[in-house]
Chains A and B, each alone.
Chain A
């Protein structure tokens, strides 16, 4: 069967899957109610989003410069920073830092998904635990994330209960509280036994080298502070010039990601240190003594030069567009590759370089444009998809 034929079969299976539809219809309803609430309680967000669009436009044009600046600041602050030109470079750098036989706890990161980091580390003889609840479910199911922020958006609670019952050997009810408590119990000791914690970042300030990490669960706090080593993998498009600008990006991101107020916002700029004994600065007090940041280019600087498609780099990964997409509403992330829906099509073509996959996704877009109405960055997905089809159809 052709690649397209297989893809079509996959999304049709998803479209006929009652479990996916049930889980999504619940999630979409909640997303809309939550995001409306967040925007109503913080009405300045829409204006802030316009400002953030300008910040991103400026930043995307100078990603290289910002990455170099951030690297210098991080190094001066006793961290280690690297620029990885390709996905392989990033895997080699992280693989080298990790070695083998290690226990690793991981926060959710789409960038790590993009380069296949978990699989790479597992093949290298390491034990890796996804600690985000949704990601943990997906890892245990042997599946892949179906939404950028809610990776297990396609799994209803009844199925999670079945999975956790298998893992624990106990009969667990489809009670969300019980399931959350089970995950907590399963992962708790891993955070403290882990040799390394790996995270991504939602936005990075180049002038202070600070990573912003937005979450509700608290798993990112533990991942980035309990183990002795913290490694962060960040796409270069996440860089903005200043701390003030990063703060604005962060606010817009979480509100459109339907968090009125996120429970935790971590800002990490270097390894843990203390000067409390005779003002002698010593690294690795209570937090990690080692802090490594890998900025991944992986096609981003090339993509930034493409007039029709560079706007995809403004994406804050809030995931709002996905809840508005009628196709995503019945197929979840099966309408996707590493990233999903229209944005995912551009990403498949330009970053992962899979033209056939990109074509399959590009022609699955209805070009209906409701995603654009939701998008805080006003990314014109239909226009971008048509631009991409042009590249694929005319082979230019």
Chain B
């Protein structure tokens, strides 16, 4: 990055980019902290098929606390003076990122990265054999592409491919929509001879779930929120709906016409929430409102960013009796795993 052009990247995003480049995760957390969720699952590290967990779910708790700090700062008078200087915010207000990481490392609560644990259990229950690279899982680097740092993205792409290939991996099961799209669609453009077969969790589940008897623990109305990268980027619109419809006890409801390819963004696209935290919150509330109009008791989606945004949206609207769940959690509950 040269100095002159760096000025045209909002510093919030420059900060995220630096984290990926230096620490291989969005948050800049010490290497390996993200893999803690899988400690008790005993997944093999050597396998031809690996589960790609991605940053979003793994760092979910600390991203959430970081976002709430960013939101508060954005509304404070300092926010107007230093609209983008995230690193500056931290110094100025004595916020210490290292503390967040320490807290994260010390934490081992069940709620952390629950969708990942559930996804793993679902895949295992369906008889899928796979491993997990744990602390050696590289960052997909997708956000570098969306920031516009194409050279850094290309470098990251090649190094990711080399690392994964060196482990003998042939197939990837992705779960974070953005990571999956990056691995499946963006990397082949940058890595000559790219031959990793990438499937999304939903596709793997749908193939094997067909003759299963699934029942959700209670009768509920659920509204499904399509993440942009799943519906409009990866074209996975029918798959999540087929899965939800196959689960007894769930009544799937749709928000007017804003579903499928017409779904409204949760307001957290491509790093937007870091640059415009307050606006992002307004958009999250608007989307939550559309989903609430269905009368749903549970909002189900399938993206760590959307989960975070929609929870924030409900909080803004002061709605306490509607829950946001990830689709992996819903399937796990229906399987009883």
Interfacial residues, chain A to chain B (CB-CB below 8 A): 1-2, 4-5, 8-9, 11-12, 15, 32, 326-327, 329-331, 355-356, 359, 362-370, 372-373, 386, 388-395
Known: A4-B84, A367-B270, A368-B228. Contact between A330 and B282, CB under 8 A?
yes
How many Å from the CB of B55 to the closest CB on chain A?
18
How many Å from the CB of A9 to the closest CB on chain B?
6
Q: Tell me, in angstroms, the Cα distance from A364 to B279 when the chains sit together.
A: 10
Q: Does B95 contact A (CB under 8 A)?
A: no
Contact A369 B5 (CB under 8 A): no
* Residues of chain B contacted by A369 (CB below 8 angstroms): 228, 232-233
Contact with A along B178-204 (1 / 0, CB 8 A): 000000000000000000000000000
Known: A12-B279, A386-B146, A394-B151. Contact between A370 and B262, CB under 8 A?
yes
Interface residue ranges of B269-300 to A (CB < 8 Å): 269-270, 272, 275-276, 278-279, 282-283, 286-287
- Ordered by A's residue number, 27 sampled pairs between the chains whose C-beta atoms are within 8 Å are A4-B83, A8-B276, A12-B279, A326-B264, A326-B265, A327-B283, A359-B9, A363-B272, A366-B272, A368-B232, A369-B232, A370-B228, A370-B264, A370-B265, A388-B148, A389-B147, A389-B148, A392-B8, A392-B9, A393-B6, A393-B8, A393-B148, A393-B149, A394-B148, A395-B2, A395-B5, A395-B8
Give the interface residue-count category, chain B: 35 or more
Contact A390 B146 (CB under 8 A): no
* Residues of chain A contacted by B287 (CB below 8 angstroms): 326
How many Å from the CB of A362 to the closest CB on chain B?
8
Interface residue ranges of B196-237 to A (CB < 8 Å): 228, 232-233
Q: Tell me, in angstroms, the Cα distance from A322 to B257 when the chains sit together.
A: 17
Known: A12-B279, A330-B286. Contact between A355 and B232, CB under 8 A?
no
Q: Tell me, in angstroms, the Cα distance from A364 to B261 when the chains sit together.
A: 21
Contact B286 A326 (CB under 8 A): yes
Q: Tell me, in angstroms, the Cα distance from A359 to B9 when the chains sit together.
A: 7
Contact A366 B267 (CB under 8 A): yes
Contact B267 A372 (CB under 8 A): no
- Counted as pairs of residues, one from A and one from B, with CB atoms less than 8 Å apart, the total is 111
Q: Does B263 contact A (CB under 8 A)?
A: yes
* Residues of chain B contacted by A326 (CB below 8 angstroms): 264-265, 267, 283, 286-287
Interface SS of chain B: helix, strand, loop or mixed? helix
Q: Does B28 contact A (CB under 8 A)?
A: no
In the complex, the chain A residue whose C-beta lies closest to that of B263 is: A370
Contact A394 B13 (CB under 8 A): no
* Residues of chain A contacted by B13 (CB below 8 angstroms): 363
The 10 closest A-B pairs by CB, nearest first: A389-B148, A395-B5, A368-B265, A393-B148, A366-B269, A359-B8, A369-B232, A368-B228, A367-B270, A392-B8
Q: Does B145 contact A (CB under 8 A)?
A: yes
Contact with A along B7-23 (1 / 0, CB 8 A): 01110010000000000
How many Å from the CB of A390 to the closest CB on chain B?
4
How many Å from the CB of B81 to the closest CB on chain A?
8
In the complex, the chain B residue whose C-beta lies closest to that of A14 is: B279
Q: Tell me, in angstroms, the Cα distance from A368 to B225 when the chains sit together.
A: 13
Q: Does B4 contact A (CB under 8 A)?
A: yes
Q: Tell me, in angstroms, the Cα distance from A175 to B22 when the chains sit together.
A: 61
